[in-house]
Amino acid sequence: MRPAIITAVDSLLAYAQSKQQEIIALIRQMVECESPSDDAAAVGRFVDLLSDTVAPFASLKRRAGERFGPHLVAEFDLPGRKKSGQVLTLGHSDTVWALGTLKSMPFRESDGRLWGPGVLDMKSGLAFLIYAVHALRDLKVPVPSRVLLQVNSDEEVGSSSSRALTEENARRSKAVLVVEPGTGMEGKLKTARKGVGGMVVTVHGRAAHSGVDFGAGASAILEMARQLSRIAAFTNLKRGITVNPGVISGGTRSNVVAAEARVEVDLRVVKMKDAPSLERKFQALRPIDKRCRIEVSGGVNRPPMERSAGIVALYRTARRLAREIGMELEESLTGGGSDGNFTAAMGIPTLDGLGAVGEGAHAANESLLVDRMADRTALLARLLATL
Ligand SMILES: [Zn+2]
């Protein structure tokens, strides 16, 4: 259900509403600074923009991101005595959109939405957080905890270079707030995320001329086709386990019995305890045609964010704070992973999906609802003032 018009019963909400045009201008700047994961220089430019934006009220650190752009950690200068530990806010600077996407998908505001590459996932979430900090500072609202923002440059490609830094900052935190977009057009928070993995299965057969020497060949493609129905049967929707053979290749010519075939399989699990048994099922694949050999690599690389008691408590706090400003929050389980998966797996209460409300992440209709910007910004500010 879309909420009715929000009335400014709260000074933080009123502040966010009064800054709406400024927030839109910042989002525009961010979207127009394209930052695909695989272009370290472009991501670096975006991180520069972000650094310049927060430098007047934050101390900054950068960590090299190996072959990716730099990761950024900002500690905000906020009112109040910091005696209640640390809260980590988490986001990413990279997008799935190639450089030049702006030509066909320019930033624009129309139909009550903002549009453009990365606008929802998740540049607006970063802008909301920055304005939540402005609100707390300008209204002199005391914030009990240190507040860090970590922005990773490789989230869309598995977070291999940022994971250790995320865990390092999470370890010292009592809560993690992830400003990824919410779920659906209601902007549900994410209190559980599936774990994500990838497997590559390669079948090695025996090549032969399909006309001259058919019997000497052992087709890797035929063997793979048989194995695929076994692999597909690993899906268990009741337990939230899905197995998707998403990319397949093999063979060289139609008149050659294929010597090799390969499949890339995406894995998702709701419970971490399901990961080892699923991986074992892949390892246990045996060829039906004994002349073929099967090779398996990979596994679950992003643990699931399981809905722990700590996550539920954090969600209930957010729901109460939202209700006080006239918003009804809901929670959701999503199949998509984020860096919140890592922090939740460490047992740190993690609340995800606190960013924008909209639809079309990673798709041409990527957009967010303008009339849900102020309440999300205010909710972030209220959470920081409370935790
Ligand atoms: Zn994202």
pLDDT for 9 = 61
Q: How far is the CA of 214 from the centre of ligand 1 (A)?
A: 50
Expressed in angstroms and rounded, the spacing between residue 143 Cα and the centre of ligand 1 is: 27
pLDDT for the residue 6: 45
Q: Fill in the DSSP letter of residue 255.
A: T
Looking at residue 271, its pLDDT comes to 94
Q: What is the 180 CA–ligand 1 centroid distance (Å)?
A: 5
Give me ligand 1 centre to Cα 156, in Å.
7
CB 43 within 8 A of CB 68: yes
Q: What is the Cα–Cα distance from 358 to 377, expressed in whole angstroms?
A: 15
Separation of CA 123 and ligand 1 centre (Å): 9
Residue 118 alpha carbon to ligand 1 centre in Å: 8
Ligand 1 centre from 373 Cα, in Å? Answer: 17
**pLDDT < 50 positions in the chain:** 1-2, 4-8
Q: How far is the CA of 91 from the centre of ligand 1 (A)?
A: 7
Instruction: Give the model's pLDDT for residue 226.
Output: 98
Q: For residue 14, how far is its CA from the centre of ligand 1 (angstroms)?
A: 28
Q: How far is the CA of 368 from the centre of ligand 1 (A)?
A: 14
**Cα(142)–Cα(385) distance, integer angstroms:** 6
- Quote the ligand 1 centre to 92 CA distance (angstroms): 7
Long-range contacts formed by 42-51: CB under 8 A, 24+ apart: 42/69, 42/99, 43/68, 43/69, 43/70, 43/93, 43/94, 43/153, 44/69, 44/70, 46/93, 47/72, 47/93, 47/151, 47/153, 50/93, 50/126, 50/151
Distance 182 CA to ligand 1 centre (A): 10
Other beta carbons within 10 angstroms of residue 267's beta carbon come to 25
Q: Which of 383, 387, 384, 373 is nearest to 15 (CA)?
A: 373
Residue 379: Cβ within 10 Å count: 28
User: Distance, CA 191 to ligand 1 centroid (Å)?
Assistant: 15
* Ligand 1 centre distance from Cα of residue 293 (Å): 38
Q: What is the pTM of this model?
A: 0.89
Whole-number Å distance, alpha carbon 122 to ligand 1 midpoint, is: 5
The torsion of the CA quartet 224, 229, 231, 235, rounded to 10 degrees, works out to 160
Q: Distance, CA 228 to ligand 1 centroid (Å)?
A: 31
